[in-house]
Amino acid sequence: MEIRDMTALEMGWLIKERKLGCAEAATAILDAISSTDGELNAYISVQRDKAMASALKAQARLDAGEALSPLAGVPVSIKDNICTKDVPTTCGSKMLEDFKPPYDATVVEKLAAAGAVPVGKLNMDEFAMGGSTETSYFGAAKNPWDTRRVPGGSSGGAAAAVAAGAAVYAIASDTGGSIRQPCSFCGVSGIKPTYGSVSRYGLVAYASSLDQIGPIGKDIRDCAAALQILSGSDGRDSTSVMERPFDFSGSFTGDVKDMAIGLPVNYLSDGIEPDVRRAVTRAAKTFESLGARVEEFTMPMMEYAVPAYYIIACAEAGSNLSRYDGIKYGYRSGNAGSLSDVYLGSRSEGFGIEVKRRIMLGSFVLSAGYYDAYYHKALQVRGLIRDAFNQAFQKYDMILSPVAPTAAYKLGENITDPLKMYLGDIYTVSVNLAGLPAVAIPCGFGQSAMPVGMQLIGREFSEPVLVRAADAFQQSTDWHKRRCGK
């Protein structure tokens, strides 16, 4: 097996057993990036020298007998909205094209402590606003299964790199599906953790009450190993609520006989491609064959999730992105003759169309005349969505649903239709509104020969249960083992 085709845990085991050197692993992935990224555009920047230095440091720690993570010495790639000290963190935007943070995000510190080897920063939709990675200032990323198609977004670079073997695993963020939807489009696995389980310190904010950092990997075991590193308390993040990291040691039994899984029939009705419906219903039958009880039900409030999400997300984005004014840091227009020109010119030239659209939507719904009509109502709907999930979890251990209504579509096909793009988030945004965890794993292919994914949604902090179910599915199927071009 080529090094680039290994899972993170396979690679970590070989490194621990001294059958593979950290520098050899890093070189293999850096070479894979060099050979694929001209076509995929999955990376915004690659730090070869820093990666090799980190690999040598990890090797020295392992040689000294230091007890490290199972992923020690394994290369990791990081979405470009997570701060890395003295390394460009652009958020896929002209606004931050030259920004090098003076500090590391908490998750980057935890990766370093665990012996991980960062190799580069991954392409993304600008400020994580988009579902196809087409809004990136640095150009669209491509899907390695078919480079004429999108890899999803906003973490499209992360999913594309993992699927192509140009990343062993990746650390990304999910505001309304930005980990799960690219996983579905690229045939890889990911976890959107419970809100508050992973520190957001050093994550460049899009919508602060929705953003959450999580892992993308070749299979769910890699994701669990990464999340065990990332999760836990952080006094620098007021929303961090976990005292200790997740423990997944009991999650790989392959046993789901005690599980009750809800399958929302209204998620499988109008607007979903037949191939996606077929793959998800087949996955439900697989769980039944493994001994789980799968029951159909109707999930209420679904039709209100997308409008509520975009009102809240855009309102928070408008507030968070007000800091980019051409004064403190970031892009500054060279055509300004006055202070107001600095503000107007810097923001007009520094932000792309989609970011401007969401800032304007956010400013509108927060304005005095419309706050009660839109923003306040959206907050009320958010509470009702949370209540609907809580009622479902009184009966079911988890909910099985599609990740997206379609497989990956062609580049340029939807980018000029914002409403169509927003409706593509119909199955994912409610999870973020409720602060719940969800895992996304491959479950089939469509007629276009593109991957299709499903998600399992659980109650707060039920990640070990979700991982157990996802792992049981992956032990019984081979969708996650299929590689593009192989």
Ranges under pLDDT 50 in the chain:
none
Q: How many domains does the chain have?
A: 1
Q: Is 281 part of any domain? A: no
Q: What pLDDT sits at residue 447?
A: 86
User: In the annotation, is 136 catalytic?
Assistant: no
Q: What pLDDT sits at residue 335?
A: 87
Q: What pLDDT sits at residue 336?
A: 86
User: In the annotation, is 35 catalytic?
Assistant: no
Token pair 């997570």 in the structure block, residue: 82
CATH of the domain at 134: 3.90.1300.10
Q: Is 164 part of any domain? A: yes
Separation of alpha carbons 315 and 279, rounded Å:
36
Active-site residue, from 54, 69, 77, 79: 79
User: Cβ contacts of residue 52 below 8 Å, gap of 6+?
Assistant: 23, 26, 27
Burial class of residue 472 in the structure, from the number of CB atoms within 10 Å of its CB (0-12 exposed, 13-18 middle, 19+ buried): buried
Q: Which of 228, 250, 226, 217 is nearest to 468 (CA)?
A: 250
Q: Is 38 part of any domain? A: yes
Token pair 């009705």 in the structure block, residue: 269
Q: Is 361 part of any domain? A: no
Q: Read off the tokens for 181.
A: 């939807």
pLDDT in tens, 299-351: 999 999 999 999 999 999 999 999 999 998 999 999 888 999 999 999 999 99
Q: What pLDDT sits at residue 465?
A: 98
**Global pTM value:** 0.98
Are 444 and 278 spatial neighbours (Cβ–Cβ below 8 Å)? yes
pLDDT in tens, 338-392: 999 999 999 999 999 999 999 999 999 999 889 999 999 999 999 999 999 999 9
Q: What pLDDT sits at residue 186?
A: 98
Q: What pLDDT sits at residue 485?
A: 75
Q: Is 149 part of any domain? A: yes
Domain that holds residue 78: 3-256+437-481
pLDDT in tens, 17-35: 999 999 999 999 999 999 9
Q: What pLDDT sits at residue 266?
A: 95
Phi-psi region of 41 (alpha: psi -120 to 50; beta: other; left: phi over 0): left
User: In the annotation, is 79 catalytic?
Assistant: yes
Active-site residue, from 136, 178, 199, 251: 178
Active-site residue, from 54, 132, 154, 184: 154
Q: Is 174 part of any domain? A: yes
Q: Is 93 part of any domain? A: yes
Q: Cis (ω within 30 of 0) for the bond into 34?
A: no
User: Cβ contacts of residue 427 below 8 Å, gap of 6+?
Assistant: 177, 267, 401, 402, 403, 404, 405, 455
Q: Is 279 part of any domain? A: no
Q: What pLDDT sits at residue 98?
A: 96
